[in-house]
Chains A and B, each alone.
Chain A
Amino acid sequence: MTDRPETASQTAGPYVHIGCTPNAAGITGVFPTDLGARMITGEVAGKRITLTGQIFDGTGTPLRDAMIEAWQADAGGRFAGQDGADPHFTGFGRCACDATDGSYRFETVLPGAVPWPQGGTQAPHITLWIVARGINLGLHTRAYFDGQPQNAKDPLLARIEHKSRVQTLMAKSEDGLTYHFNIHLQGVEETIFFDA
């Protein structure tokens, strides 16, 4: 079936920012803005939220050189490029983790539910992709929203054998505006990563 093998991944390395967020890395004047710097570009529909957190290695140290990307549906459950998608929402965010504390932050909207291929719907979630020095193949995970009633019927969450690990995919919020989502690369709290 496969005619040509997929090109092998290699680590993004410590200098990923030069290519992906050059303005944030101090290389100005080449590109006017960094791609993914803003997910909301106007009067967006839906509830505005912040998704923020840190990425921890197996020693509990936050990664300060990682880059994280977000891809998600708009508040109506449509992805940018689809008919009816919100024209003021790109769905794509990209963030260089803070050089001091390793935190990342996306200003976005609470996504709507999206279809599951075999029927039914998936609970609202944000796809995340993490690259860094020491990560040989970009890590794919999702942030779901703790307390959303749709989580109970989400087909992907239902597949998770070790139910104690479901919590690793839950972004948590006290005020319903700022959601905290930490990612653990190893250890008892290791985040579930996907090979979908």
Chain B
Amino acid sequence: MSDVPKGGYAARQPGHHPVALYPPYRTSVKRSPQAAPLSFPTTMSEETGPVFGHDILGPLDADLLHNFGPQDRSAIGPRILVHGRVADQFDRPVAGALLEVWQANAGGRYRHAREGYIAPLDPNFGGCGRVITDAEGRYELRTVLPGPYPWPNGPNDWRPAHIHFSVFGHGFAQRLITQMYFEGDPLIPLCPIVRSIQDEDAVSRLIAPLDMTRSLPMDARAYRFDITLRGRRQTIFENRMEGL
């Protein structure tokens, strides 16, 4: 990307992220670092990162409806299309970003050895997919609407329906894992994992709105989820910290 500046990455702003220690999310109590993190300007180690080309992708990688089950079988559940744009914080598109997704099936059941929810597995649904953004940073996935499910935290906690996203941009400093939620889900404001984000605007950006303009008639509804990654500053001088 010749038009991407070569300065360091702008510092991550903690207020846009969940806090590490959020006691209502019980597992965070013993897994959250207690010392302050150490800051330093990004270096080659953070400004470079693995690059994944389209050659890694199979024809059905972005189609969770069909990428696991036998040919001509489709996953069970409400069919949806998820699309959006990946850009950096300065609104530059991030082309070539690898997005990996995973999710529960329509009944709220994950295909995982440690999963014990009584809802059944779908023989036609694996629950993973991946896609690489185009030159404008755009992506599109097809899948089923995941179901909400109970989880062992409080005595009666339910996760809102969500799709996990893992994102690789151009530099390892941009590495991000997050979750996309669905507009109108009443479980969102009840969820301790969501509430670990103290900024309501930051939460709202994780909630994908229904997008009727991209919905496929007689096939699938569309939801739009845009992702913003950290961006590089224009010059190395802006990256120089006080006292250096």
Q: A30-B68, A137-B18 are in contact. Are A194 and B89 (CB under 8 A)?
A: no
**In the complex, A35 has a CB within 8 A of chain B:** yes
Contact indicator A22/B126 (Cβ below 8 Å): yes
Chain A, residues 152-196, CB within 8 Å of chain B (1/0): the string is 000110011000010000000000000000000110001111111
Q: A4-B87, A19-B100 are in contact. Are A192 and B35 (CB under 8 A)?
A: yes
The segment out of B42-50, B75-83, B210-218 that lies at the interface is: B42-50
Interface core residue of B177, B178, B205 (most chain A CB under 10 Å) = B177
Q: A8-B178, A8-B205 are in contact. Are A18 and B44 (CB under 8 A)?
A: no
Contact indicator A131/B177 (Cβ below 8 Å): yes
Residues on the B chain within 8 Å of A12, using CB: 164, 166, 177
Contact indicator B102/A16 (Cβ below 8 Å): yes
Q: Tally chain B residues at the interface, Cβ within 8 Å.
A: 87
A41–B157 alpha-carbon span in the complex (Å): 45
Residues on the A chain within 8 Å of B25, using CB: 11, 134, 136
Residues on the A chain within 8 Å of B18, using CB: 8-11, 136-137
Closest A residue to B39 using CB positions:
A195
Chain B, residues 165-176, CB within 8 Å of chain A (1/0): the string is 010000011011
The segment out of A45-53, A101-109, A122-130 that lies at the interface is: A122-130
Residues on the B chain within 8 Å of A195, using CB: 11-12, 14, 37-39
Chain A, residues 44-79, CB within 8 Å of chain B (1/0): the string is 000000000000011101010100010111000001
Residues on the B chain within 8 Å of A193, using CB: 33, 35, 37-38
**A positions within 8 Å CB-CB of B:** 1-20, 22, 25-27, 29-32, 35-36, 57-59, 61, 63, 65, 69, 71-73, 79-82, 90-92, 99, 114-118, 122, 125, 127, 129, 131-139, 142, 155-156, 159-160, 165, 185-186, 190-196
